[in-house]
Structures are given as structure tokens and as C-alpha cells.
Amino acid sequence: MRKIIGGLLLPICSLETAETSILGNSMISPQNYLIDMDGVLVRGRSIIPGADDFIHRLLERNAQFLVLTNNPRYTPADLAHRLGTMGLQVPAERIFSSAMSTARFLQSQKPAGTAFVLGESGLTSAIHGIGYVITDLNPDYVVLGEGSFDLEQLTKAIRLVAAGAHFLATNPDPSGPGEGGTVPACGAMAAFIEKASGVAPYFVGKPNPLMMRTALNHLDVHSEDTIMVGDTMATDIKGGVEAGMETILVLSGVTQTEDVVRFPYQPTRIVDSVADIIV
Ligand SMILES: [Mg+2]
């Protein structure tokens, strides 16, 4: 049996010796974690075995960590509640969404601006939270998230973008799982607006390393002391590598072992699931 310690693969029997030597030769393991949610901690409405214990160990060790999600629909409190109903206790302040990253980006680019927002409470509350006014009257930005939009709202977004509003979208994911099958996600709706307006959006969420950098800033930690844990090479590992972090790919989600070699960027480590990560 082998376990990951600070990114090193070691036999479990030499745990104490290994930890001592890691600290002794200055190869101090990163103390902080950015952890993708879907495919890493939960799958659909179910918790991935060992995820609850992993989070518990991080909390017990007072580790700095954030659970990252590209899903902009929910507020951190809503998401913490949803995870809680699955048996995963994650404090709301440990959750960081693409909606929050988008709001931070707006705040840094144009403080106290205006935006027309297509999205649900996770996005609108994050944008209100930075002092923005949400309006369809000559806004600085059109911000697209996820939700049930009608053609009238999409048409309004298209006209505002065509008229010169900057076009932001929370995440490039084209689709996601829904009740009864696939549902279009932000990336698909963004393509719709782009096709009609002729203006491409700027996507803030993963794999944009801006999402990771914003999360690092939120935690007030540095990339070199932080590990990105994710299940998807094209988003989590790509963004983690580009943000200068060590990365751990878990095989409990999207990417399977045989796919990894195809990518030009590689994870630092690969494990079956978060149950194999010792923190
Ligand atoms: Mg994932």
C-alpha cells in the first residue's frame, strides 16, 4: 500500500521517517490546496468515498484550502448546504466559485461599475457584493452565468454586447448533467450570444489560470506552496500548471489513466482519489 505525502509517493510503513526527512532536507510539502469539486469530492448527488475524511483532515490540520467550482449558480452558503445534504461538511467560506472569481475580476478591472447579468443568485449576489449596479441601461459589462434564460433576455444581452458592453462569461463548459440528461451550460449560451453579436466572451472560470490566481489571492497564499487537486486534465491540471502550482490528478472523475499521456502538460502526481492524499 502506498500513499501520497506532500506529493511524494511513499510506502505507508515509512510514514514517520519520510515526514522527518521531507522537513529535514527543506523539501517542505505545500501546505495549501485548491480542490475541484465535481469528480473530486462529489459525483452527481453522491459523495466520492473518502472525500469527507479528506476534508476533515484538512480542517483538523488547519490547512488553507478552497473547494473550487466552475458552477456559478449557487452562493457559497447554498453550495455548503447542498454538500451537507450529501454528507460532506464544507464550511461556506471554503467554497470559491467562478461567480466569485468573475466578481473579483470586475472589481479589479472597473470598480463600482454596472452590469447586465444573466445568471442565478450565486452570480447576482457576488456582483452586488462588490458594489456593482445590475442594469440593462447602457451597462459596462454583460455577464453571462448559468440558468434558465428566455430568448428575450438573450436578445437583450446580444444587443448590449453589439452596442459595446464588454462580454464576460463565468465558465466555458458547454454542457453539464441535468435531470433527465444533458443541459446546455455557460459555454453553449456564450456561443449563442457570440454568434449573434460577433463578439467573443472572456471566460473567467477554469481552465483560465485567473480563476486559480484569484483563489490563491483569496486565501492569501502563494502558488509554490499550493497543490491543485482535480479530475480533469483540460481544466484543473491545465489551469494549475499555468498558475505555477503542483498538481494532483485524481482518477475518480473525467480523465482516465490512458488519456493522461496525450496532454502536453502533465500532473505532478496521479492518485485514484482524494482518499489517497495524506495532508
Ligand atoms: Mg471536476
CA of 128 relative to ligand 1 center, distance in Å: 27
Residue with grid cell 428566455, as numbered in its chain: 150
CA of 237: how far to CAs of 25, 169, 178, 181, in Å? 27, 21, 25, 27
At residue 23, the pLDDT reads 39
User: What CATH number should be reported for the domain whose range is 2-70+207-278?
Assistant: 3.40.50.1000
Cβ neighbours around 5 below 10 Å, total: 18
CA distance 64 to 69: 17
Domain boundaries, the chain: 2-70+207-278, 99-203
CA of 40 relative to ligand 1 center, distance in Å: 6
At residue 123, the pLDDT reads 98
Asked whether the whole model's pTM tops 0.85, one would answer: yes
The answer to whether 38 is a known catalytic residue is: yes
Strands 141-144 and 133-134, sheet pairing: unpaired
Identify which of 105, 103, 96, 107 has the alpha carbon closest to the alpha carbon of residue 117: 103
Q: What DSSP designation does 30 have? A: P
Tens-level pLDDT at each residue, the chain (279 residues): 444 444 444 433 333 333 333 333 344 456 899 999 999 999 988 999 999 999 999 999 999 999 999 999 999 999 999 999 999 999 999 999 999 999 999 999 999 999 999 999 999 999 999 999 999 999 999 999 999 999 999 999 999 999 999 999 999 999 987 778 888 999 999 999 999 999 999 999 999 999 999 999 999 999 999 999 999 999 999 999 999 999 999 999 999 999 999 999 999 999 999 999 988
- Which residues are found with C-beta within 5 Å of the ion, ligand 1? 36, 38-39, 231-232
Domain 99-203 has CATH 1.20.1250.20: no
CA of 66 relative to ligand 1 center, distance in Å: 14
At residue 177, the pLDDT reads 77
At residue 279, the pLDDT reads 84
At residue 12, the pLDDT reads 38
CA distance 233 to 258: 12
Provide the terminal-to-terminal Cα distance of the chain, rounded to the nearest Å. Answer: 17
